[in-house]
Structure 1
Amino acid sequence: MSVRRRRLTLFAIAAILLVGLFALYHYQTQYVPVPDPSQPLDNSQLGQVSAVLSTNRIEGRDAVRFVRPTGGVGRPKIYKVQPTVYSDVEPGFGDVDVSNFEQPSRDDIARRRQHINYESNDQISSWSKELQRMGMGFASELTDSTGSAIARPPKRILIHFDLKGAPPKVSYINRIMFLAKSLGATGVLMEYEDMAPFSGRLSNIAAGNAYTKDQIKEILKAAKDNNLNVIPLVQTFGHLEFALKIKDFKHLREVPDSPQALCPSLNESLTLVEDLITQTMELHEGTEITHLHIGCDEVFQMGECPRCRNTPRDDLFISHVLAVAQIVRRRWPGVRPIIWDDMLRHIDVHVLRESGLGKVVDPMVWVYAPDVYRFVSPQIFEKYAAVFSTAWTAPAFKGAHGETLVVPPARKHLENTVRWLSVMAAEGPRFEHGFSGIVLTGWQRYDHFAVLCELLPSAVPVMALCLAICSKGRVDKEALEAVNTALTCPETSVANGDRYQRQWIDLNSDPNLYSAFSRCLFPGHQFFKLIQRLEMAHSEATTFLETTKVTRAWMTDYNIRRNYSAPLRIDELMGDSSHILASLTSVARSAPNAMEEIFDDYTISEWVEQKVYPMIKQVEDLEESAKQMREVNVWPKRPLPKLKDLFRFGIPRANPALTQN
């Protein structure tokens, strides 16, 4: 009996130990159900794993079992767990030691976090160096020491269409709107000027190639289809050349000989302004218009006519703006007028506040130089914030750095945009409602009488970059890649396979972005490539003419006027003329094909006449002069007759018989 009892006792003790070990096993081992063992764990399941480890205070290496419910059939499936990889192992009952999985201690976590910070700082430093390499070091100011953007992107991002005197075809505007939307644009600022189909007493203002009402509807439909808000712009004070140049309204000029600005003291001036606004707003019926830009910038001629002479200029300006704003408020109560800010910058804050201007208009602050604060100081923003509850800002993507340029200088425009974002981050909190938005302006002429500057297709790459920067609030790889995609640029392979390492922007060696975007297929890419050809041909021709007529001594104006030079030298100097003339002529002949999908024949003809023809004419005239000089084979002895026209400068005439007529 004693032996049997002893055996039973030992068996009971063993059973108790087994039960205890089993309980301890299940205490140490937790089960996290996973719906699909063939897939990696999602964030929720990873959270459960973390909770299991935390609950059991498991640190170091241990075994953790992940079991998929089997409904009591078969054996559970065991999953091997590593810090970043989750994969299946063979089914089995026992624990599988996951030797590669380690739950770090607090010290481990701290060390790893520090390592991540170092790694992040290294990445930031690397990107800063990349920006420097690209010639965009100025973009670093949009991020803090951690690489985070210093401000959110603007509430609204608009593209300005300046249409005066050279209207792009509606189909092209539609394509640009689609592209702009893809890069973050929220609206468009439409400045029609003489391209609006004015009628009635305003019919003589409309250009012969102005848009029709149906074409305006197409443009507005494209804006709606792309979810772009429309803000019309109507000049109402200065820059009214398109209206004041004609006989019908010449009597409204502030200065009789200049159509730049109207006289604000004439009642008929407000009648003209109201008609311009009314017909423009009627063109936009059916379109939700929340703002109307009424211009009022660069009113150079004010307070000069007899009616205005005795009134302070500031009073003239403020009273006219208030009168125009009242027209808008009376006719379209839900529409908020916007004005350019430059005429406000010097006006005392007390005068502005007492005028009530801040209640009826919002200023749009424009500066196109990289150093925004040089033209609009923090004190001016402080003044504006004391008068206006909000403001708009306006950098430029073209038409700001040279009246006759054919392609925008990318660095200046990008730096201007970046600096504006930085200024907006700093000055926005001053205003009760912050900044309302940013408008990327793109001027086509400096004023109504000026020749064309950069046309829209030549500025598409810069516009795209400015848009991407604004919509991201910073310059990063994502922004640059968005531009690359939107402009349909080909991929560039690199040795290490990292597409972000490709050097497709370098403002130092490629200031006009020809190398970066000449292979892209954006709207107007053919014209963009034509511009590159024009600049190369123009550069060659300029060097040729400078060398031939100024630097060298045998085909100067003096030689040509006197028909007096050495044939050998003429042949030497004119050796490249045929090649240069052929290059220029080729550009002129290629222009219609590159531009016909974008502009009408009038604009194509004007552009060629302004940008290509003058240089062709100079080379052709020089060739004709060389031909005439080459025909001479007998030359007079010195001294040659004096030039008769020099007499007006007091050049003495020693011998009238030797004077050249």
Structure 2
Amino acid sequence: MFPYHGKVAHLQAPHAYTPEDIVHLHTIAAENNLIIIPLVQTFGHFEFVLKHDENRGIREIERYPNALCPTHPDAFPLVTRLISQVVDLHPDDKFFHIGADEVWHIGKCPRCQDELEVKKMSTNDLFLSWVIKVAWWIKKEYPHLTLIMWDDMMRQISLEKLKSCRIGEIVEPMVWQYQAKKFDLPPDLFNRYSAVFNGIWVASAFKGATGSTQFLPPVQHHINNQLTWVSVLSEYKHQFKIFRGIALTGWQRYDHYAVLCEVLPVAVPCLCLCLRVITHESFTEDDHDYVSQKLGFPHRINVVPFPRPQVIEQCMSFPGHKIYVGVQMWSNFVCKYQAISNSEGMLGWFSDYLRSRNFTNPVQVENIMNPIIEVLENLVELRTHLIPWLLEVFYEDTVEEWIGSFINPLVEKLKSVIEECKKQILIGGRVRDYKKIEY
């Protein structure tokens, strides 16, 4: 979405922001007492760059587009070019995030393996050397920026190594954890980090993080995630000279190639509840009521949206609420279809084996077909409403992707089952000649 230009113009999405759009975003942010922190991935999660043939040569593993090769001579000029273009359109920003999480492939290519062998380095050394190289370049070119990076690749690195490489002088870690109750972090993590870094950030999630094809955020899970962070921070944040704050992340995809998970309008109630938890460091009935009323809910926001189906509120007032309603309706219909698919009628009288031999009881088939027709009709009608609702918020390609990923395949599946039902009903339960079965 960034308007990259020049040698990296090929990275632009067809509907990328214009420079004027970015200026406007900064204006809106300032009017609402917000700051913008750009994030540019500089190591892992580099798919948006490495998917292009022009950049394929700097992949760490040629067949995988996830991570760049830190020893490739073209890698550093490319990364600094991306950073420069972003910073140039964010001249007044004070913070900059360099990513660097989940570098799954490191030290795998022949060039990196030679580097490790010649310099007697570990993959941790290679990771740190690249991050420090990028960070020092940014600090030299843009000394006004405070740099942030994800922390996960440093969690198992010893205190001695973190100190000796001086990474604490140039970046601040953002510790991410998205579990509801118990965090999967080394027990000495904050002790080590406090001995290395002056400032620290943490990150929770208000959507995403619970499933790559999730439609609705499990709100109570995300509320519990915030509450767990409140508890963890009360114990450890005093160890740092500066606690910067918490980032409530909202995932759109698990990576560049994944399908969309919860779209933003569906997660606005969850975001507001999570913000309330963080600012009040608790979650009470009064908090629940306050947020629900602010968003126009006639009753309390449902924080346990599963299992489905469930009654759906429809009179809210927050932006995008029609999409919130539509996706909940979709989830109800999916649940109804799954119930039919797992019903005794479907499994006992309409199995693949029985259908392949045209040996079905039309009484049972009709009982299966009628509710499937009802679900199909409901889905088709919902699609006619949901598309324009989505288009109010998203670009056409996003709407096409969401409908094409989730609704259309189920519509086609239902049509196929209905056609098979009609075929079996026409056969009328007559005995057919069995084909010889070979085992």
Superposed CA deviations along residues 42-77 of structure 1, whole A, max 9, x for unmatched, are xxxxxxxxxxxxxxxxxxxxxxxxxxxxxxxxxxxx
Structure 2 CA distance for aligned equivalents of residues 480 and 412 of structure 1:
15
Match of 1:392 in 2: 201
2:250 to 432, 439, 442: 442
Find the aligned partners of 1:414 and 1:315 in 2 and give their Cα distance: 37
Map of 2:134 onto structure 1: 324
Q: Alignment partner of 2:66: what SS?
A: strand
Q: Deviations over 1:382-416 (max 9, x none)?
A: 01101111210101000010110111001110000
Structure-2 separation of matches of 1:205 and 1:293:
19
Contact kept in structure 1, 2:218 and 2:306, CA below 8 Å: no
Amino acid at match of 1:420: W
TM-score by length of 1: 0.63
- Rounded to whole Å, the distance in 2 between the matches of 1:247 and 1:476 is 53
Distance 1:313-1:517 versus aligned 2 partners, 3 A rule: farther
Give deviations 1:89-135, integer Å, cap 9, x for gaps: xxxxxxxxxxxxxxxxxxxxxxxxxxxxxxxxxxxxxxxxxxxxxxx
Among 294, 298, 307, the residue aligned to 2:111: 307
SS in 2 for 1:451: coil
What CA deviation, in whole Å up to 9, does each residue of 1:243-271 have, x standing for no partner? Answer: 10110000000000000000001121111
2:296–2:316 contact (8 Å) kept in structure 1: yes
Instruction: Tell me whether 1:355 sits opposite 2:161 in the alignment.
Output: no
1:273 aligns with 2:273: no
CA distance in 1, matches of 2:67, 2:304: 41
Cα distance in 1 for residues equivalent to 2:307 and 2:336: 18
Sort the Cα spacing of 1:513 and 1:521 in 2 relative to 1 into closer, same or farther, 3 A.
Answer: farther
Aligned equivalents of 1:477, 1:616: Cα separation in 2: 40
Count of aligned pairs: 432
Shift of residue 370 of structure 1?
1.9
Quote how far apart the aligned CAs of 1:508 are. Answer: 5.7
Structure 2 counterpart SS, 1:539: helix
Aligned residue in 1 for 2:325: 529
| Displacement of 1:338 | 0.5
After superposition, the Cα gap between the structure-2 partners of 1:620 and 1:284, relative to the gap in structure 1 and judged at 3 Å, is same
| Matching of residues 363-382 of structure 1 within 5 Å | 363-372=173-182, 374-382=183-191
Distance 1:548 1:595, change over 3 A: farther
Contact 1:299 1:343 in 2 (8 A): yes
Could you tell which deviates more after superposition, 355-364 or 560-569?
560-569
How far apart are 1:239 and its partner, in Å? 0.3
Tell me which amino acid in the other structure corresponds to 1:206.
Q
Q: Is the Cα–Cα contact under 8 Å of residues 308 and 332 in structure 2 kept in the other structure?
A: no
Q: Confirm or deny: 8 A CA contact 2:213 2:261 kept in the other structure.
A: yes
* CA distance in 2: counterparts of 1:408 and 1:631, whole angstroms: 44
- Aligned ranges 1:89-100 → 2 under 5 Å: none
CA RMSD after TM alignment: 2.2
**2:369 is aligned with 1:565:** no
Percent of aligned pairs sharing the same letter: 34
Output the amino acid matched with 2:165.
S
CA distance in 2, matches of 1:399, 1:240: 19
TM-score by length of 2: 0.93
Structure number with greater Rg is: 1
CA displacement 1:524-577 (0-9 Å, x = unmatched): 110001011101111111111232785222x21123333332333322321212
CA contact (8 A) 2:218 2:305 kept: no
Most deviating of 306-315 and 459-468: 306-315
Equivalent-residue separation in structure 1 for 2:203 and 2:77 (angstroms)? 29
Displacement over 3 Å in runs of 4+: 476-482, 505-518
The residue identity in structure 2 corresponding to 1:216 is: I
Structure 1 segment 181-330 matched on structure 2, within 5 A? 195-285=1-91, 288-310=92-114, 311=116, 312-330=122-140
- Give the Cα separation in 2 of the matches to 1:513 and 1:620: 22
Q: 1: CA distance between counterparts of 2:11 and 2:345?
A: 44
Structure 1, unaligned runs of 5 or more: 1-194, 493-503, 644-650, 652-661
Any idea what the Cα deviations from partners look like across 1:261-297, whole Å, max 9, x if unmatched? 0000112111111111111112223xx2111000000
Corresponding residue for 2:119?
none
Distance 1:266 1:301 in 2: 14
Corresponding residue SS for 2:65: strand
1:628 is displaced (CA, Å) by 2.4
**C-alpha distance in structure 1 between counterparts of 2:99 and 2:235, whole Å:** 26
Give per-residue Cα distances to partners, 1:109-162, cap 9 Å, x unaligned. xxxxxxxxxxxxxxxxxxxxxxxxxxxxxxxxxxxxxxxxxxxxxxxxxxxxxx
User: Which runs of structure 2 are paired with 1:241-640 in the superposition (5 Å)?
Assistant: 241-285=47-91, 288-310=92-114, 311=116, 312-372=122-182, 374-433=183-242, 435-476=243-284, 479-490=287-298, 504=300, 507=303, 518-547=314-343, 551-553=347-349, 555-632=350-427, 635-638=431-434, 640=435
Q: Distance in 2 between matches of 1:254 and 1:376?
A: 27
